[in-house]
Structure 1
């Protein structure tokens, strides 16, 4: 059954990419001849053209993070069948449309954020509200993913050593390709060989530190990584990361073919599991495995500034989401194979990533790889792209913080506050607050992150729909996803605010309440645009 699930997912996703993906491109008017912002606004720091394979690696590693692993494993409490069905339907018709649409819309808006798109198509107040909403969500991303990474470092110390060496390798790769003009193919071969060497060295020289020590080191790292030029670390590390990721997925699929694990979890356990209702909690918990608002921030925050050709947006936006769907199915299978009792034991030892690494490591024994080696390799891959999501999220948080306080006007000579728009100050505030929030632990942060994340997705869907509407283009592919996600996340936030009040987590209560109010106001403003009979300009008034 497990092998059948992953194979049917791959086949369905391939068909969707060729058919539905092409239909979306046609409806939106993707133009291969248009010059992208990466070329028009090239600055060598954020706007840097990247070849499609390189940018695919960055984008996939950034959006994947720990989400498609943690989410499906946590949602498996409802049984494997509802989770599997939501991953398939969500990835194709919800997440894929959301990611592709956000990326394409941002490319058409000078590579700027979803907030900027709201400003242009809804109004200035909408942009401000969205910026607050998105920035608060990114604080939750930092809090949740930093915890996941550090737990992995503590549970599998070899991963920590390899991750540090991998950062050095990525910097060398970036200099070689971007400053020494070494051909990408040659650099890739050498880079992958050295990456294998890093893994070997890490396995034999594990660094053992406390949770708190690794937590501080991780926060310092993401500060540095999020202000450095993208060509020196972000692009090369994420590109090399993609090979780790592809190897992990390939190894997992091969292991499933040979090992043929069964599923110990039942297909459906019930609608109400220990007080958690399948609706809406399932659709919030799976998160990145089906649809994720964080993806819209990555698409419009870093990826859109690096798109070489507009035609690449389908592969990078829609294709990455479908690959992530495959990863989510594999994560679900590891939970289903391990069973409820051992699942709880492994989760308590190292979180959902430990569950995933243990399961896939076991599958890889089917083709002769030692379980400890396989588990360490999988844990490394998880931490590698979780780090990618973490520092990408921090960089985007910095963008949003700066953009929020940037009220300069070249026509009047007005200048913005130099401190509040300084990238180092904006990054410091984002990292510090996200890190403090993460002290609560990811198990407390993840549910509210999931709700905020999915509500962000609903807003992003509505944003792209308003833009398409103002362009006179078909936006019906957004209608059902955005309404469904608004309904799901409004219900989920209400339940989570109530549960946090009961448990005394008042900081999360305040954040949840703020997100709820902001989302209602944004939804109301965007809905007025969608239901108006004429386009709306950037001030929110009707255009002639």
Structure 2
């Protein structure tokens, strides 16, 4: 089969879904463009800062994309390309897109607060506390997993490391020029993107070669600083500029595919049980961000909702951002499917899923004149830039959730643990300690925890919609399916880590499993109409 058909058909399907299903969701939930958003009503110049839709999409997309939609589909390719493609399309449209759009919109209607706060408003304080612990533990896994991905990429492609450092300096200058000196966004974008690619050139000229341990330490310092500084200084401008890297990468890959039109070599379906892994539930856990990701709900309700300029942008950023990520996931599975099984094994052994993806896009870009080595280096740099974005966003979210957990609205003087520097330090230290365990051990647990987080986010939004008298039927199947999938997957992981004597990675799944079951039961009482004390909330 020609791989060109995969990308063309998927883009058409996603486009139709955005125009039709996305619009239907907005109508059902009552999106109101005339209503002021928290970015305006609570503007504090640090976390609550209005951002134009393209800028916020850049931040949101850069934060949710990371390396997840690349690593997941490629790893899931062991089951064949058809199951992966079907799940990306169906999951993205009816599961991930609904969750991302819904969590962003629900947070905007709750003063830009997190999913945990939404749970408190609709299920009570006990539910919030349980979810906060669950989400924070999951974010520790995110920090550990993406620290490994970034450190490994910087070691294998030192050009990406030096370019990333230059990116940060450029982002600070860009943010200062746009937000403090009134430089028009259009002018700043042209200059910024030109300098962005200049950073890539300089990065290739002056690679920064350090060992993995050193990079992990540097990254820990970086994410601490990125988590406590105002969003306009680094987060918004860097993510916005970095988004152009990903757009260029996707566009380059698609143009290359149109010119190259490689045939699919990977088997369409290889079986329900491969190397001791079962298609159900592992396919749905492994693909993760390429179809649905609980981390997206934390981003939408953690940073993006605090920067949304207009409610009408929720569909564009939440639903649209997820579908763009699905396109990236389709490109990722093609990079694994167009090579032979032996070649795929070699590429995975040499540098993991990111190496498979970088090699494939490098080959595709070479078809319109970009040297293979330059193309591969550019892709590795782009992936590392987005993994770095996910990393520092996860740290900021961890800080938010940690602070919220210990906040007491009845007291004027808050616990020292609500201090942003203290909460960030604790999150960074524990996340960094887990990072030492290595990517291979952490990713399966992260994938399961992440998907279970998605199930809980879907449940939380459904409860809010029910309490406000709005249609929540679009959540029924996704939340039930994801809950079953992840409970089964966590059971397999607990057993596997017990056998391997990875006891830390046994404790994490057990804690997450217990918390999730209790939360699901609390939600069931509300959705089933059996809780007479359900809070009455405003739409």
Q: 1:534–1:542: 8 Å Cα contact kept in structure 2?
A: no
Residue 489 of structure 1: aligned partner: 486
Cα offset, 1:263, TM superposition: 1.8
Q: Distance in 2 between matches of 1:84 and 1:473?
A: 32
| SS at structure 1 position matched to 2:231 | coil
Q: 2:525–2:531: 8 Å Cα contact kept in structure 1?
A: no
Cα offset, 1:313, TM superposition: 0.2
- 1:62-461 equivalence runs, <5 A: 62-409=63-410, 413-417=411-415, 419-461=416-458
Q: 2:122–2:537: 8 Å Cα contact kept in structure 1?
A: no
Q: Distance in 2 between matches of 1:93 and 1:435?
A: 35
Cα offset, 1:205, TM superposition: 1.2
Q: 1:121–1:536: 8 Å Cα contact kept in structure 2?
A: no
Cα offset, 1:414, TM superposition: 4.9
Cα offset, 1:345, TM superposition: 2.3
Q: 1:408–1:415: 8 Å Cα contact kept in structure 2?
A: no
Cα offset, 1:262, TM superposition: 2.0
- Please give the per-residue CA displacement for 1:467-506, whole angstroms capped at 9, x wherever unaligned: 0000000000000000000010000000011001011110
Cα offset, 1:437, TM superposition: 0.7
| SS at structure 1 position matched to 2:367 | helix
Q: 1:37–1:305: 8 Å Cα contact kept in structure 2?
A: yes
| 1:469 equivalenced with 2:496 (yes/no) | no
Q: Distance in 1 between matches of 2:279 and 2:10?
A: 22
Q: 1:469–1:535: 8 Å Cα contact kept in structure 2?
A: no
Q: Cα gap change, 1:531/1:248 in structure 2, threshold over 3 Å: closer, same or farther?
A: same
Unaligned runs of 5+ in 1: none
Unaligned runs of 5+ in 2: none
Cα offset, 1:201, TM superposition: 0.7
Q: Distance in 1 between matches of 2:351 and 2:46?
A: 36
Cα offset, 1:440, TM superposition: 1.1
Cα offset, 1:350, TM superposition: 2.1
Q: 1:223–1:431: 8 Å Cα contact kept in structure 2?
A: yes
Cα offset, 1:407, TM superposition: 1.4
Q: Distance in 2 between matches of 1:132 and 1:62?
A: 22
Q: Distance in 2 between matches of 1:16 and 1:414?
A: 48
RMSD: 1.3
Q: Cα gap change, 1:542/1:99 in structure 2, threshold over 3 Å: closer, same or farther?
A: closer
Q: Distance in 1 between matches of 2:136 and 2:511?
A: 12
Cα offset, 1:385, TM superposition: 1.0
Tell me which of 511, 516, 530 is aligned to 1:514: 511
| SS at structure 2 position matched to 1:367 | coil
Q: 1:144–1:445: 8 Å Cα contact kept in structure 2?
A: yes
| SS at structure 2 position matched to 1:472 | coil
**Structure-2-length-normalised TM-score:** 0.98
| SS at structure 2 position matched to 1:326 | helix
**Structure-1-length-normalised TM-score:** 0.97
Q: 1:149–1:387: 8 Å Cα contact kept in structure 2?
A: yes
- After TM superposition, where is structure 1 displaced by more than 6 Å over at least 4 residues in a row? none
Q: 2:121–2:537: 8 Å Cα contact kept in structure 1?
A: no
Q: How many residues align?
A: 537
Q: 1:100–1:317: 8 Å Cα contact kept in structure 2?
A: yes
Deviation larger for 249-258 or 350-359:
350-359
Cα offset, 1:535, TM superposition: 7.7
Cα offset, 1:343, TM superposition: 2.2
Q: Distance in 2 between matches of 1:123 and 1:362?
A: 53
Q: Distance in 2 between matches of 1:520 and 1:513?
A: 11
